[in-house]
Structure 1
Amino acid sequence: MGNSCLSAPDALLVKIHNPVFLWKVYGFSALLQRGALAAKSAAFHCSGYNWYLKVSPMHKTLGDGTPHVALSLVLSRLSFKPDYTMNAVFVLSMYNHSKGNFLVVKASYNFDVKNTHSRNICLISLEDQLKSSEYLLDDTCVLGVEILQIDVCRSLKKKNVKVQKKFLFLQKKKFVSVQNLFLQKKDFTKGDYTWTMNNFPELDLKPSVLSPAFEIGRRKWFIRMYPRGDEYSTNSLSMYLFPQSWDKLLPEPGMMIELTLSILNQNNAQLHKVSGRFVFASKNGWGWSNFIALNKLKDLVGSSCIVKADITIIGSSSESQIVV
């Protein structure tokens, strides 16, 4: 994955495109104003699995400093089993408001629970997107996903044994999941929380530990840490942010959150951080299975470990379905 990217010349303008998911991002330039962080949609369902669409608004490839708007398809590991692999053939797209068609790139990727993000696909240079209203009309960008084929295999004794094969064919009527993301450019709700663990060597022996609950944006949250990593990590500490008792809240739109989790020293100086943008629309958490390598962590912390969560609510998200 990394900085690899399918180049823009691979993108084609087509009139016939049958997305199963559309992501309408209102206030797209707000992503640019707050830096180059990628943003993930809320989950959408297709062919028995949950997926996300990730947009990197200023993606740069190795050897090319030109920023591009890049997309990546993400498989939810919670809807997939370990010891299985999935080869998916899909199309990622951006709507052309002027011509009424889509800029598309067809790609494929082998997913498993430790490789859930396809490589980035550069659809258009950021300069080309911003200079006209074709792909950014009234600061609104529409992104799409079409999944063409899924092959799922189980690995047994280092041999791939096919246990399931799925094809998705065009139908006269089908449901399209539509998510509307409304981004703010000012008046953000933000807050931070610092979690100090003075007995970290003892906690290190536990599978996972939870922080006390804390309140930001009229909601309560907690941090979940896996000191030796969760089932998806590779020799790394895992850490996630969760909403507390989301199912007890009244129905309301999801939230686009800009999250930074950091490890601090005794003087509250930042030693390591990871940031991302996620839609929190259910009780599921967001974070990183490979937050920091365990050998690096040992060099940074001793008997105590200080974790800080910085949370900024930068927008709201709603979803619906349409029949086409």
Structure 2
Amino acid sequence: MGNSSSRGRSKGQQTTLTFKWSIDGFSSLLDKGEGWTYSRVFEIMGHNWYLKLNPRDKKSGGSDEYVSLSLQLASSSVKHGTVVEASFKLLIYDQSYGNHSQHQVSHSFQTASTSSGASCMISLRKLKQHPSKFIVNNSCVFGVEFIKVTTLKANTMSEILFVQKTSIFNEATTYTWDIEDFSALKKFDSPEFEVGGYRWCIGIYPSGDGNHLTLDLSMKKTNDLPDNSANLVEFTLSIKDQEAGNHRKGTGRSQFTNDARSWGWTKFISLEDFKDSSNGYLVKNKCCIEAEIAIVGSSKIE
């Protein structure tokens, strides 16, 4: 069952490279039911490939049957640290009129994913309809036309994150910032304070739309934190309700690095709610902001 052919690119010509896969006795393949059948491995554009065919495929949740065709890069052509970018057409040939069923694909073939990630599908009912232009003398022809293949160096970064159940310094540290005259506030950052050998501060300032307050936590001094490392910090920022204890809180779990030293909320609270004395956040122009900080892990880029 099956025969194959390919046509190459002669020197100086820009000819599309094609692999054709003719399957004789196609009805016998259909009788074998659902499952993938693989072509031989063929070489085109310096890489080894193969086609795979499922003659009785089904879409998720459906009962209709389809003939599916997919391209894969052979493992012998998967090189560590490289990506093969390919543009190609998957084809089911119309042997009578040339109106082929085709699907154009662009895909990145990598070590972890060598499948095209897309299939050319045609309804089995359409394929078999009488008189069939796809099945002639019990033979069906499939193929792939390569448009462009480029091999690139993989640009991959990986991170290992280690998380602990509790703070690496046994318990969270709480810092309270009492602002005695909010309307006269000139510096929108709190005094610096230390947690876990690092210097921190709380920031409160108008948001970009001018109708909210932004509240964030910043790591001011990274000490010996390497550029490829980060601290996983679990933190809660609160604007205290000085009347009823219904504090406005935001909790985050973020990684602080040399390049990302601040995390928080750009619209933590509306100015209207903040200044409404009945909420207890701003009382006689005084407010209280609290930060609870725990370093619960670390990460490293490899």
TM-score bucket of the superposed structures, by smaller chain = 0.3 to 0.5
TM-score, normalized by length of structure 1? 0.42
TM-score, normalized by length of structure 2? 0.45
